[in-house]
A and B are shown apart, each in its own frame.
Chain A
Amino acid sequence: MVVAADPREAVVWAALDEIADPEIPAISVVELGVIGGFAFEPAPGGGERLTVELLPTFVGCPAIDVMREQVGQRLRGLELADDVDVRVSFATPWTSDRITPEGREKLRASGFAPPALIAMDAPSVLDVEMLSMVSVVTCPHCGSRNTTLENPFGPTLCRAIYHCANCRQPFEQFKAV
């Protein structure tokens, strides 16, 4: 680990912030919150290695391999360390609360309702609290709260489908998880 003052850290964050989410390109991998962290470490074979922790939004997210490749390629291009290692990790579970305020605004601007901000506890079978996941969602097109959940499952694992009764448009929500 290097101290926070390492000037290379800002360069790494800026480079990562240029990498778009492969499935929702309006938002970067940093804004999505999938970068768990990174560190410059001594490499086992000598020299220095940049290790990045990547947190999948969903365990089965098919975009994770693409993200891993793009992050590795972009950071190798910076030539800040002798080697770059991007690791998929569940040590810190990704939750939808990790999406940054900027990320939530960009989601809304591109027609996605951001997930409700709820620190969900783990589920049990007959948990009435389960309903908290499908709390009222604001339409990203017209701002109405007169919306209904059409399907908690959408075109990708991380998206749910809603309908707005006010502007009569369907829209997607980034799922709270």
Chain B
Amino acid sequence: MSENAADLSGPTRDALAQLLLGIADDEFVIGFWDSEWTGIAPMLEEDVATSSISQDEIGHARALYEMLAELTGQDADQIAFGRQPEAYRHAALMNHARTDWAFSIARRYLYETADAVRLEALSRSTYVPLAQLTAKMRREERYHLMHLDAWLRRLASDADASSRLGSALRTLWADALAIFSPVPGEEVLVRGGALPEPMEALRTRWLDQVLPVLDELGLPGPTEQDLAASSEDGRSRRTDDFLWLHGQFTMVAASESGATW
């Protein structure tokens, strides 16, 4: 068990920094995408719900960026807002624009279910600050899971919505699998228990949980091709959609470099 950053070996610290950066960027970018629904979600209650879920995710990103900053001696705001687009390490799933409501629900369902598997594993991490933070995050994420499960079932019960959901899932599967791309230096983390299981094992657990639900609702799982696709660049591929979003979320920070709020 490691109580703080100073107890870690150099290789463990580097690999842990890569792991934290990927998770923080996932939460940060999906939080910004879905915050775009504020004011234009299909119903008033959903305006509030999507905004609240996005605020949770950005809050989780902040806590993870702060943990990362402590590990690397950087500044959390600088990590969040001061990088060029190619330095972000979110999974390719977060490269897509918000698109329509079914698309956003499909993406978030895939993300929330995968995140739940990842958080459960990390709550057993031997790096104590990470185990503590993820244990706390899981209590909040429970509401997200419940909400997304309800939306998935609701959309799946309507012919037009279900067909949109299906086509969104077909577009997203390969990029969703990138959530479990191997982390650079992963073997060191698994050996020391900071990451209790390899990403490959988490990916299998996630698919085992999600595929029966999608099957029951008549929604598509990944194709053989999706499953076989290389995940080497799963966290480094970038798209024009993300470049646009990056311009949006760095706008304020870039307008007054070094400002605090």
**Chain A residues near B (Cβ < 8 Å):** 56, 58-62, 90-91, 93-95, 120, 122-127, 130-131, 133-134, 150-155, 157, 161, 175, 177
Is the CB–CB distance between B135 and A151 below 8 Å?
no
Within 8 A of A (CB), among B144-166: 145-147, 149
Closest-CB distance, A124 to chain B (whole angstroms): 7
**Given A59-B133, A151-B49, is A133 in contact with B56 using a C-beta cutoff of 8 Å?**
no
Closest to A177 in B: B139
Closest 4 CB pairs of A and B: A60-B59, A153-B52, A123-B142, A153-B49
Is the CB–CB distance between B210 and A125 below 8 Å?
yes
**Given A59-B136, A59-B137, A122-B135, is A152 in contact with B58 using a C-beta cutoff of 8 Å?**
no
**Chain B residues near A (Cβ < 8 Å):** 45, 48-49, 51-53, 55-60, 62-63, 113, 116-117, 120, 123, 129, 132-133, 135-143, 145-147, 149, 209-210, 213
* CA gap between A126 and B139 in the complex, in Å: 15
By CB atoms of chain B within 10 A, which of A59, A120, A130, A151 has the most? A59
* CA gap between A126 and B211 in the complex, in Å: 12
- For B146, list chain A residues within 8 Å (CB): 130-131, 133-134, 152
| One of B58, B138, B143, B213 near A60 (C-beta < 8 A) | B58
Closest to B135 in A: A93
- For A153, list chain B residues within 8 Å (CB): 45, 48-49, 51-53, 143, 147
- For A59, list chain B residues within 8 Å (CB): 56, 59-60, 63, 133, 136-137, 140
Closest to B51 in A: A153
- For A90, list chain B residues within 8 Å (CB): 63, 129, 132-133, 135-136
Closest-CB distance, A125 to chain B (whole angstroms): 5
Can you report 17 A-B residue pairs in the complex whose CB atoms are below 8 A from each other? A60-B55, A60-B60, A62-B55, A90-B63, A91-B132, A93-B132, A122-B123, A122-B139, A125-B113, A125-B116, A127-B142, A130-B145, A133-B146, A151-B49, A152-B143, A157-B55, A175-B143
Closest to B141 in A: A123
Q: Give me 11 other A-B pairs in contact (C-beta within 8 A), A59-B137, A177-B140 excluded.
A: A58-B56, A90-B129, A123-B139, A123-B141, A125-B116, A125-B213, A127-B142, A133-B146, A153-B49, A154-B48, A161-B48
Q: Is the interface of A mostly helix, strand, loop or mixed?
A: loop
Is the CB–CB distance between B138 and A123 below 8 Å?
yes
Is the CB–CB distance between B136 and A130 below 8 Å?
no
* CA gap between A90 and B51 in the complex, in Å: 24
- For A56, list chain B residues within 8 Å (CB): 136
- For B45, list chain A residues within 8 Å (CB): 150-151, 153, 161
Is the CB–CB distance between B147 and A152 below 8 Å?
yes
Is the CB–CB distance between B123 and A61 below 8 Å?
no
Is the CB–CB distance between A124 and B140 below 8 Å?
no
Is the CB–CB distance between A157 and B59 below 8 Å?
yes
**Given A60-B58, A124-B120, is A133 in contact with B49 using a C-beta cutoff of 8 Å?**
no
- For B135, list chain A residues within 8 Å (CB): 90, 93, 122
* CA gap between A130 and B146 in the complex, in Å: 7
- For A125, list chain B residues within 8 Å (CB): 113, 116-117, 145, 209-210, 213
- For A123, list chain B residues within 8 Å (CB): 116, 138-139, 141-142, 145
Closest-CB distance, A33 to chain B (whole angstroms): 14
Closest-CB distance, A89 to chain B (whole angstroms): 8
* CA gap between A91 and B135 in the complex, in Å: 10
| One of B48, B55, B139 near A151 (C-beta < 8 A) | B48
- For A133, list chain B residues within 8 Å (CB): 142-143, 146
Closest to A122 in B: B138
| One of B52, B129, B132, B145 near A157 (C-beta < 8 A) | B52
